[in-house]
Amino acid sequence: MSSPLLQIENLSLGFQTEGGLLRAVEGLSLSVEEGQIVSLVGESGCGKSITALSIARLIPSVQYLGGRILLAGRDTLTLSRRELRQIRGKVVSYIFQDPALALNPTLTIGAQILEVLLLHQPKAATRESCITALEQVGIPSPELRIDEYPHQLSGGMKQRALIAMALASRPRLLVADEPTTALDVTIQAQILQLLASLRSSHQMSILLITHNLGIVSQFADHVAVMYAGQLVESGPVRQVLQTPAHPYTRALLASVPQLGGRRRLSSIQGQVPPLHAMPAGCRFGPRCTERHGGCKELTPDLRAHPTLAGHYTRCLPPRP
């Protein structure tokens, strides 16, 4: 088998603060195969965005404490600034939660796409190509929209324009960090359908960060669940959602709002621990309804599921 497009191995990240080093991501491993949609889930503050941004080294203040990030066979943690600039866009592109913040309000949509094309595919940097780029992401009347400014577009259309920009560089990996959280539910579905179809038409891989397990089950092939800076479970989507092996995954699933009027079934008691006060032993222990004596004493490793292939979990079985 060929090696994955993205392979994060044992990555640890931290931030230097006045109070000392805060460890924000601990020993995280994750891979994304060519053409695969991998979803990264977990509550707010678990480390999803900093992990994703680290792939192209987009956070200046982060400290890389260990591990490797192999993207298309190259370790991005060892690349020079120049090499990184080449990788950003050509190999990996990003779209974020709030499209309004990511677009330049003073330039037309067309001018912004043209900029990306000039950088990555100068021969294609024409008005025609920009119109095609907008057409591909389902923007109606692209020949008119191209001359509009971001404020003239709705939220959904802005996100489409950003996707068009991200794709204009023909990335092999698209990192989508909560790409639809700021949008209406119906628009959310359209944008996700669009990403799923672009994955096929452009043979692109997608790292999709979301809080929404419904989105995971519908769009992702593989899911990685993060809790307090660590991976607690990962595996094929159907398997993880149908037979979750970690109590945190089970708790997340139990808090998914149900269709048909039933409100939240239960929300997870307590909070994600702050970086400066990680509990000893299992980090989820203090909130876990299934905890036992060993959880406080031993730090669980991520281990292969005893029977399910490709499925990993970080949970200590109770002592007999």
For ligand ATP, the binding residues (CB under 6 A) are 15, 24, 42, 44-50, 61, 275
Is the C-alpha dihedral spanning 119, 53, 170, 209 positive or negative?
negative
Give 304's strand partners: 312
Taking the mean position of all CA atoms in its chain, how far away is CA 121?
26
CB nearer ligand ATP, residue 97 or residue 129: 97
Residue 275 binds: one of ligand ATP, Mg ion, none (C-beta under 5 to 8 A by kind): ligand ATP
Least gap, CB of 44 to Mg ion (angstroms):
7
Tell me, by CB under 5 A, how many residues bind Mg ion.
Answer: 1
Residue 105 DSSP SS3: coil
In angstroms, give the least distance from the CB of 102 to ligand ATP: 15
Query: SS3 of 6, please?
Result: strand
Residue closer to ligand ATP, measured from CB, 189 or 278: 278
Please give the residues from 7 up to 66 whose contact with Mg ion meets the rule CB under 5 A: 49
11 backbone dihedrals φ, ψ, rounded to 5°? -80, 130
Q: Which is nearer to ligand ATP, 49 or 234 (CB)?
A: 49
> Closest CB to ligand ATP among 43 and 221?
43
Residue 258, C-beta contacts closer than 8 angstroms, at least 6 positions apart: 265
Q: From CA 144, how far away is CA 128, in angstroms rounded?
A: 12
Q: Smaller CB distance to ligand ATP: residue 50 or 134?
A: 50
Instruction: Output the smallest distance, CB 44 to ligand ATP, in A.
Output: 3
Residue 180 binds Mg ion, judged by CB under 5 A: no
Q: 42 or 244, CB closer to ligand ATP?
A: 42
d(CA 290, CA 147): 57
Binding-site partner at residue 279 among Mg ion, ligand ATP, none, CB < 5 to 8 Å by type: none
Structure tokens at 15: 């931030």
Q: Which does 5 bind (CB under 5 to 8 A by kind): ligand ATP, Mg ion, none?
A: none
Which sign does the torsion angle of CA 289, 294, 298, 302 carry?
Answer: negative
The item of ligand ATP, Mg ion, none sharing an interface with residue 171, based on CB under 5 to 8 Å by kind, is: none
CB of 24 to ligand ATP, least distance (A): 4
E strand spans, the chain:
6-17, 20-32, 37-41, 62-71, 74-75, 92-95, 173-177, 205-209, 222-227, 230-236, 303-304, 312-313
3 state DSSP class of 168 = helix
In the complex, least distance from residue 304 CB atom to Mg ion, rounded to whole angstroms? 28
| Closest separation in Å from C-beta 271 to Mg ion | 16
| Rg (alpha carbons) of the chain, rounded to whole number | 21
Q: Residue 26 is encoded by which pair of tokens?
A: 């601990």
Q: Which of 30/153 has CB closer to ligand ATP?
A: 30
Closest distance between ligand ATP and the C-beta of residue 15, in Å? 4
Q: Which residue ranges make up the site for Mg ion (CB under 5 A)?
A: 49
